[in-house]
Structure 1
Amino acid sequence: MSRHNPGNFADRLENAAKAKQALMESFRSKPDLNDPEVAARLAERKAAAEAREAREAAKREAKHAEIARLKAEKLAAAEAKAAKLREEAARKPAGRARLSSILASHQAMREARKGRA
């Protein structure tokens, strides 16, 4: 047997009315915005929101600074590579001339040996 006795329809209507009345009383008993406690909580929430926004702005700024730093590093690396390539290009004709002079001196030495022998 069930111990729960839902009662009749009138009892259920009465219980529903009591629940609705309790809900209305809890709504009416809430303090309004002029209450000092409510104002303090709102001020606390506003301060927390401003602090959160400041942290997020600092994160965004740090992220942008990091991106700018990485771009600057890439640019510096590209410029260093370009300078190295320019330097190598400038050395190549001098290296070729030096190589040709060495080859010419070796050729002269071979010819001189052939002439002596």
Structure 2
Amino acid sequence: MSGMKQKDFSERLSAARDAKQAMAAKFRQRPGSDDPVVAERRAARATVSAARDARIAEREAQRLAENARLAAEREARAAEHAEQEQRAAAEKAVNDARLEAERKAARDARYAARKAWK
């Protein structure tokens, strides 16, 4: 019986050795960095990476352009609002001056009427 166990153990050892040799052979079969297939894959990855970088840069440029456009619109609205406030203030000043002139004229007329009556 112990002979069978010994045989199983030796079989396991040889199977492990065969597996290690197969892995080593597979690793040795890998193409080197100067292999045309490897160079082609590397070039394809570089092309994809460059295209991705270009898309990212384009999106960033679009975002900056949109931000600039929105800022210009905000500034235009602010300028328009300031102009409207300035116009309203000027109209108020004109109205205040007109009302003051009318009050003065009415006061002067009352004073003249009082003088004329005396």
Percentage of matched positions with identical amino acids: 40
- State the Cα distance separating 1:95 from its structure 2 match: 2.4
Q: 1:41 — aligned with what?
A: 41
Q: 2:27 — aligned with what?
A: 27
1:25-104 correspondence runs (5 A)? 25-98=25-98
How far apart, CA to CA, are the structure 2 residues paired with 1:22 and 1:10? 18
How far apart, CA to CA, are the structure 1 residues paired with 2:9 and 2:99? 113
Q: 2:113 — aligned with what?
A: none
Provide Cα deviations, 1:39-85, integer angstroms capped at 9, x if missing partner: 11111111111111111111111111111111111111111111110
**Structure 1 residues not aligned, in runs of 5+:** 1-6, 109-117
Q: 1:11 — aligned with what?
A: 11
The one-letter code of the counterpart of 1:46 is A
SS at match of 1:8: helix
How far apart, CA to CA, are the structure 1 residues paired with 2:26 and 2:103? 105
How far apart, CA to CA, are the structure 2 residues paired with 1:13 and 1:99? 114
- State the Cα distance separating 1:89 from its structure 2 match: 0.3
Deviates more, 1:66-75 or 1:83-92: 66-75
TM-score of the superposed pair, with normalisation by structure 2: 0.72
The CA RMSD measured in Å over matched residues stands at: 2.5
Length, aligned pairs only: 102
Provide Cα deviations, 1:6-31, integer angstroms capped at 9, x if missing partner: x7222222222111111111110011
Pick the structure with more helix per residue: 2
